[in-house]
Amino acid sequence: MSKKANDQSFEGITQKFAKNIYATPKGQLRLAVLERDLAPLFQRATPLRVLDVGGGIGQFSEAFAKQGHNIVHTDISAEMVTTAQRRHQQHDLAEQYSYHVASLQQLPELLRGQTFDVVLCHAVLEWLAQPEQAIAVLKSLLAAKGTLSLMFYNRDAKIMANMVFGNFDYVEAELVVKKRVRMSPQQPIAPAAMEQWLAAAQLAVLQRTGVRCFHDYLRDRDAASERFEQLLRLEMKYNQQAPFAALGRYQHWQIVHAD
């Protein structure tokens, strides 16, 4: 399948994306949560085959590379893939990687039936025109005993945050605006919808974590930087507990075959 016309790429704004997302407390929180959640996988002694779908500049998979696992890094943006290669070379990790410029939809044909012990798909589905269709593709790439690490932008949390900050008109308009913001996800996904998609694909959720359960509701935004270590400790303490996990701006779910 070819890339959908409305799927979004960050071609041409890689450095801006890296600065606005990764070099901020929210990006640091995201990385810390993923490393904590995925430690039981990347700490395995037996080498794993890992697929990073929409891997961006490549830092989310580096914990696997440092432990000797083999990673296929993919992204729809050639600029992102080139940046990831340079980053991995600088960190002496490039030998653990192979790289492809491809959309998620192109991967089954490109990889010719290969399956992977771990499939990483972090902050990708909310940029797709038809995110539901991606679930079947991801399942086809997942080995029988494999784990899908899926992180998606939480529509429920977006509603909550906008209500907290008084954006009532935006919420009444079902989060639709006339002018799109290029670096803001346009397809936030309701966890209830994701549950239905996974059940239909015969996939089961093993673990659920909220990412940025508190950060995005802070009235004093400077506190995220000034008191980051304390914020991180509290995020980690509560982000797998109800009701806080459900408030995470992103959801990180670890998923396996149900059959």
Give the pLDDT band of residue 259 (cuts 50, 70, 90).
confident
Q: What is the pLDDT of residues 43-57, one digit of tens each?
A: 999 999 999 999 999
Residue 122 annotated in ligand binding:
yes
The pair of three-digit structure tokens given for residue 220, joined into one six-digit string: 């004093």
Distance (Å, rounded) from C-alpha 70 to C-alpha 170? 44
- List b or e across 38-65, with b for residues whose CB sees 16 or more CB atoms inside 10 angstroms: beebbeeeeebbbbbbbbbbbbbbbbbb
* pLDDT of 1: 35
Q: What is the pLDDT of residues 137-194, one digit of tens each?
A: 999 999 999 999 999 999 999 999 999 999 999 999 999 876 665 567 878 999 999 9
Beta bridge partners of 50: 71, 118
Q: What is the pLDDT of residues 186-211, one digit of tens each?
A: 789 999 999 999 999 999 999 999 99
Asked whether residue 15 carries a pLDDT value surpassing 90, the answer given is no
Residue 257 annotated in ligand binding:
no
Q: Give the CA distances from residue 125 to residues 63, 104, 154, 223, 238, in Å, rounded to whole numbers and listed in that order.
A: 22, 9, 11, 30, 25
Q: pTM score, two decimals? A: 0.91
Please report, for the chain, the start and end positions of each structural domain, with discontinuous segments joined by +. 14-257
Give every CB contact of residue 102 below 8 A, 6+ residues apart in sequence.
74, 75, 76, 110
Residue 120 gets the label, from left (phi > 0), alpha (psi -120 to 50) or beta, of beta
Looking at domain 14-257, its CATH architecture is: 3-Layer(aba) Sandwich (3.40)
Q: What is the percentage of the chain residues whose pLDDT exceeds 90?
A: 85
Residue 30 annotated in ligand binding:
yes
* pLDDT of 61: 97
Q: Which of 71, 139, 144, 141 is nearest to 109 (CA)?
A: 141
The pair of three-digit structure tokens given for residue 75, joined into one six-digit string: 């992204």
Radius of gyration (C-alpha) of the chain in whole angstroms: 18
Give the pLDDT band of residue 130 (cuts 50, 70, 90).
very high
Distance (Å, rounded) from C-alpha 184 to C-alpha 167? 16
Asked whether residue 28 carries a pLDDT value surpassing 50, the answer given is yes
